Every structure is written in structure tokens, then in C-alpha cells.
């Protein structure tokens, strides 16, 4: 799976994000590190921030296109 596809899914789910980054950790197209910095995370627990990212990528997670996902989220600085 292409990093661009994940980037698009995240952009659709977090239109207000100030930073969206997707890294293919192994070059194999199935181990990804995503970073989402968004003002919408203000006052949201870390658990729920990660839940939202998981939900945005639910489809590729469910069908195995993403084998391993690392998530880093941040609210407004």
C-alpha cells in the first residue's frame, strides 16, 4: 500500500490537522508510522486520539494492507 493512500485517508479524517506524516518504515508497503498533529485533539485522551487514527485507517487495518501501524498524535502546541 502506498504512503499517499494512507495520507489521503488521514487528510479526509483530519482536515484540520496542522501536520500529517506517513512513513513506510521498512519500504515494504505494510509497516507504517503515522504522525497526526491536530487542534481537534485538544482535551482528548491519548487513547481516544489513537482510536480516531485507527478508525480513519480501519479498512486497510482490517484487510491486512497495513500489517503494523505505529501512531504518534499531538494536540495543539
Retrieve residue 26's grid coordinates: 521498512
Q: Which residues bind other proteins (CB under 8 A)?
A: 46-47, 50-51, 54, 58, 61-62, 68-72
Retrieve residue 34's grid coordinates: 503515522
Minimum distance, C-beta of residue 65 to other proteins, in the bound complex (Å) = 13
Q: By C-beta, is 39 or 70 nearer to other proteins? A: 70
Minimum distance, C-beta of residue 4 to other proteins, in the bound complex (Å) = 22
Q: By C-beta, is 37 or 61 nearer to other proteins? A: 61
- SS3 label, residue 17: coil
Retrieve residue 70's grid coordinates: 505505529
Q: What angle do CA 54, 59, 64 make, to 5 degrees?
A: 95
Amino acid at each position: 500500500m502506498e504512503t499517499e493512500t494512507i495520507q489521503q485517508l488521514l487528510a479526509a479524517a483530519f482536515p484540520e490537522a496542522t501536520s500529517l506524516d506517513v512513513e513506510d518504515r521498512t519500504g515494504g508497503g505494510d509497516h507504517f508510522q503515522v504522525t497526526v498533529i491536530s487542534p481537534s485533539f485538544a482535551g482528548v485522551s491519548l487513547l481516544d486520539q489513537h482510536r480516531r487514527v485507527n478508525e480513519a485507517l480501519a479498512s486497510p487495518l482490517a484487510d491486512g494492507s497495513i500489517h503494523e501501524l505505529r501512531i504518534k498524535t499531538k494536540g495543539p502546541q
